[in-house]
Amino acid sequence: MTTETEETPEDIANDAQNEADAVEESGQDEMSEKPLDQQLQEAVEECNAANEKALRAQAELENYRRRVQKETEQNAKYAGIFLIRDILPGLDNLARAVQAAESTGNTADLIQGVQMVSKQFEDILSRHSATPIKSEGEAFDPNKHEAIQQIPTDEHPPMTVLQEVERGYVLHDRVIRPSKVLVSAPLPQAAAEADGSAGNAESQETENDE
């Protein structure tokens, strides 16, 4: 016959303490889970806020890019407006000169009016930093001159600009258009003598080598 062991007061006290400790530990676990949830929620909210901020910044950047592109297109479209405004008065003066010459039959007035307009256009080009290319008397420069004819002469060294047919212009350091010019060339006789001298010199060198 088995007998049940009776719990002593100490055993009962220990069991009660163990149960209390278990309940307390369980409560602490619940308390520790709640701050984590809050931290997670805060992290999510911060992430959402950062995402919204990034989206706003991206939208602002895109709007800025479109605005700059539009301004660039507008500037390119109307880039010549200032030059046109400067040219219009000259055209008005030219029209007045022609009208005056037609009404009076005096060509001198027309010539004077055209000269005034020509000077006015030169001033306009100068204000826009366009300067004429110096040509006559200068050595031919293929970067600035376009030779349309060679004229044999012994009065100037070969490839000297004799006459400017159409004036060229540069904008700062860039050629807008080259000057069309007539350039000097050796006289046929001088050219033949030069060729002959060169040939004789070459023959002499060949004989010396032999």
In the predicted structure, residue 2 carries a pLDDT above the cut 70:
no
**Residue 83 domain-assigned?**
no
**Residue 17 domain-assigned?**
no
pLDDT tens digits, 71-80: 999 888 888 8
Residue-wise over 187-202: b if at least 16 C-beta within 10 A, else e?
Answer: eeeeeeeeeeeeeeee
Residue 138: which domain range? 132-210
**Both structure tokens of 44:** 């999510």
**Residue 85 domain-assigned?**
no
Q: What is the DSSP string of 19-61?
A: HHHHHHHHHHHHHHHHHHHHHHHHHHHHHHHHHHHHHHHHHHH
Half-sphere exposure of 52 (CA within 13 A, CB side): 6
Query: Which residues, including other chains, have CB under 8 Å from residue 180's CB and lie 6 or more apart?
Result: 145, 146, 148, 164, 165, 166, 168
pLDDT tens digits, 116-127: 888 999 999 999
**Residue 206 domain-assigned?**
yes
Q: What is the mean pLDDT of residues 167-174?
A: 93
pLDDT tens digits, 13-56: 666 666 666 655 655 555 455 677 787 888 888 899 899 999 99
**Residue 74 domain-assigned?**
no
Q: What is the CATH number of the domain that holds 143?
A: 2.30.22.10
Angle between helices 81-104 and 107-127 (to 10 degrees): 170
d(CA 112, CA 183): 31
Is this structure's pTM higher than 0.75? no
**Both structure tokens of 2:** 């088995």
pLDDT the model gives residue 110: 83
Q: What's the number of domains the chain is made of? A: 1
**Residue 176 domain-assigned?**
yes
d(CA 26, CA 96): 105
Q: Which helix (H) or strand (E) holds 191?
A: helix 188-209
**Both structure tokens of 161:** 């600009």
